[in-house]
Structure 1
């Protein structure tokens, strides 16, 4: 796994009424999570939201409570012991996890399956509308060895 990336399995508490999942707790030891804000996005099936990174120290924490997404993280940091490595994770209703993403790694996701997906993020920095801490490159760049369009069954 890429240096500073972490994954936590989330406990699904289910009964005849439905289920409840805690997606953030300040007493989780493996997370230095101190979110500055939270947001969610809805993404239609097959849509790819990649690639971007944050260069001012932001850490993202992705959770997918509805639908299913494939998350990609690519380490291009010069000082990282895992430079050049790619991690992918499939999370969602079937696999409730939170992924800690070092913001200075390239990251993004694709909504997979037949229904829209919800992504909740707990970033450690506020979004700056005037000067966003974002660098973007196209999802199909040759710079990152992930083909979002590839059939996973081939």
Structure 2
């Protein structure tokens, strides 16, 4: 069978995961992506979320640990911190974490990363200040994301910039599932 001249809408080169569960040209500068080992036996399983001596994840800077629950299909984002570092781990369900580098002096300025993580792919992600991030629950049940920020939440001085997840002129990203 000969295939010729395949052009037109919807035809193109497929995206390739050079890093499993990750789409992007390269990892955004300063972001750390770490697979987490899941220990399982007949009693259940254990996930070591983070060790406080993990220098790569700057774990010693953690000031608070929060749990964010989201319903299937819900998008929580976009938000950016100017001073705060974030560390995220999805411990229930599956999510798509999307990052957008908004740091004008960064070598990966305007780079987009998609990271898939959760029960089926346990991993931790370190997000430096200046990188927009958002999470979409891509599973069929409630997803739980553990957040470990470097600053205590202060309602009188919130270190956060928010942008609408679907309607904005800053981040060139479509949250829909890409059918390929």
More strand by share: 1
Match of 2:16 in 1: none
| Partner Cα separation in structure 2 for residue 43 and residue 52 of structure 1 | 16
SS at match of 2:39: strand
TM-score, reference length from structure 1: 0.94
Say which one has the larger Rg: 2
**Which gives a bigger RCO, structure 1 or 2 (Cα 8 Å, sep 6+)?**
1
Shift of 1:97: 0.2
Gaps of 5+ in 2: 1-26
Gaps of 5+ in 1: none
Equivalent residue in structure 1 for 2:141, among 111, 115, 118: 115
Number of corresponding residues: 152
TM-score, reference length from structure 2: 0.81
| Partner Cα separation in structure 2 for residue 42 and residue 30 of structure 1 | 26
| Partner Cα separation in structure 2 for residue 99 and residue 115 of structure 1 | 22
The Cα RMSD (Å) is: 1.1
| Partner Cα separation in structure 1 for residue 55 and residue 102 of structure 2 | 27
Match of 2:113 in 1: 87
Match of 2:76 in 1: 49
